[in-house]
Amino acid sequence: MSSNATTPSFPKVTFIKPYWGIKEFFGGTFYRDVGDNNSIEILTKKFRNKLNIKGTIIPTSSGRTAFELALRVLKNKYPERNKVVIPTYGCKGTFDPIIKTGLTPVLVDVGKDLNITPSTAKDYLTTEVLAVLVPHLSGCKAEIENLAKMAKEKNIIIIEDVCQALGGRNSTGFWGTQYDMAIFSFGMGKNLMATAGGFLVSNVFEKEIPDEAKNLGDENTDTVKKRFENVVSKYFLKKDIEFETRNIMSSYKYNKMHPLDAKLLLIQINRLENILQKRRSNAEKIIKELKKTGLKFNLQEDMNNVYTKLSLIFEDANECSELKSCFHKMGIEPEEMYAPLHLSNAGLKSSCPYSEKVYKNVFNIPIRPNLKNKELNMILKAILNVKGSNGLKPSSKQTGGQARLHKIFTRLKRKTKKKKH
């Protein structure tokens, strides 16, 4: 059936494009329920070995499902506690499972790195709190060590949200392996991408978690195949996806991981290091160019950042929109970040001054591992345009050499303009 939606114009450089090759295309296209159904088991084993996971692993149909599973178990264990602390600056995926489980979200502010911190959370960690969710947003590690200490004193469970930080590690091991529980996601834009999928990792309740996991349903293969076709249409063929099936891309149900998704992940899992290395290299090249512009922005500081996203936090709204419009003009798609959840959910008033101050001035630049050289150069050129064409003054932080270059560049532009006249 043909789509009745208008055809959108696709950017030349899309923010998301799955890092899929011929194996994923064949794997998805020729997937059959018979013969392919042990992929979940093999993937889970590989994942355990790769991240050195000691606890329970439950493969789920999404990160949200993994979170819901954790909350269902915790709600049963601690019926007297009904609150779940999450950062207000985050995606709806961290909010919806709390509502679905009949619990109450408590939305707290974030720090300069856009992550929940011990000081933004401390006043909210009361005896009514069941769990605190700690996302490492965009791939930048949150201060989870101290949050975990504070939570432990009040018998609150820590759930590490590694959905945007798969592969991150420090001297003590991989993120998502060391605290009470962790959720992972394999949806669009993540470091490993299937059509959807997730894992719950738990170092607690080793009996209760698998028991609750028995309630997970099975996703219909036709639905997953349709989702696979939609991903190929949208991100590779740049075609609009059918209006009727659009919601299967974003809806979430309480299901197990589907073997087709596990199969796609199995193909990619050995490339994880390569994916991370390319993301880092792209991010570093872009940051280097951005630092020459004089634009006033902050980055999420973390030497172990895995750059699932390169998020820029601007001090000045005009500079933010100027850079964004330079990208749009060149057909590069930036990604908008979040509106604080307490602003979009009536009745959930919260005092979150930092999130309210910055949220309109944050966006992400594409750094996906399959950016071609030509595409990366377009991004670098768009950045160069902002300093030239928008007449931004060289910042006081610029070196003498940078300021001279800026002057020469502006003079050259003026000369070229005169010649044209």
Residues in contact with ligand PLP by the rule CB under 6 A? 62-64, 91, 93-94, 135, 161, 163-164, 185, 187, 198, 252
Quote the CA–CA distance of 182 and 173 in Å, as a whole number.
14
Query: Residue 146 Cβ, how far from ligand PLP at the closest point, in Å?
Result: 20
Tokens representing residue 318 in the block: 């005009």
User: What angle is formed at CA 323 by the lines to CA 414 and CA 168, rounded to 5 degrees?
Assistant: 140
Cβ proximity to ligand PLP, 227 vs 387, nearer residue: 227
Q: How many CA atoms lie within 13 A of 41 on its CB side?
A: 3
| Cβ contact 96:123 at 8 Å | no
Residue 198 beta carbon to ligand PLP: minimum distance, rounded to whole angstroms: 5
Residue indicated by tokens 């070995």 = 49
Closest CB to ligand PLP among residues 161, 212: 161
Q: How many residues does the chain have?
A: 421
The residue among 122 and 253 lying less far from ligand PLP, judged by its C-beta, is 253
Smallest separation (angstroms) from ligand PLP to the CB of 18: 14
B/e letters for 24-49, b = 16+ CB within 10 Å, e = fewer, are: beebbeebeeeebeebbeebbeebbe
Closest to ligand PLP by CB, 249 vs 405, is: 249
Which residues are within 8 A (CB) of 127 and not within 5 positions of it... i.e. 6 or more apart? 81, 154, 155
Q: How far is the CB of 225 from ligand PLP (least distance, A)?
A: 19
Smaller CB separation from ligand PLP, 109 or 161:
161
From the CB of 217, what's the least distance to ligand PLP, in Å? 15
Nearest to 64 by CA among 34, 92, 33, 104: 92
Cα angle value 162/166/170 (rounded, 5°): 90
Q: What is the rounded radius of gyration, in angstroms, for the C-alpha atoms of the chain?
A: 23
The 8 Å CB, 24+ separation contacts for 397-404 are 397/294, 398/292, 398/294, 402/292, 402/294
Choice between 290 and 363, CB closer to ligand PLP: 363
CB of 64 to ligand PLP, least distance (A): 3
Nearer of residues 94 and 202 to ligand PLP, judged by Cβ: 94
Cα separation, 148 vs 166, whole angstroms:
19
CB contact at 8 A, 199 and 59: yes
Please identify, using beta-carbon distances, which residue of 20 and 89 lies nearer to ligand PLP: 89
- Which neighbouring-strand residues pair with 184? 199
Report the C-alpha gap between 15 and 188 in whole angstroms: 10
Beta bridge partners of 256: 60
| 39, 266 Cβ separation under 8 angstroms | yes
Residue nearest to ligand PLP (CB): 63
CB of residue 164 to ligand PLP, shortest distance in Å:
5
Q: How far apart are CA 212 and CA 209, in angstroms?
A: 5
Least separation in angstroms between residue 99's CB and ligand PLP is 14
Minimum CB distance to ligand PLP, residue 94 (Å): 5
CA separation for the pair 16, 18 (Å, rounded):
6
> Least distance to ligand PLP from the beta carbon of 188, Å?
8
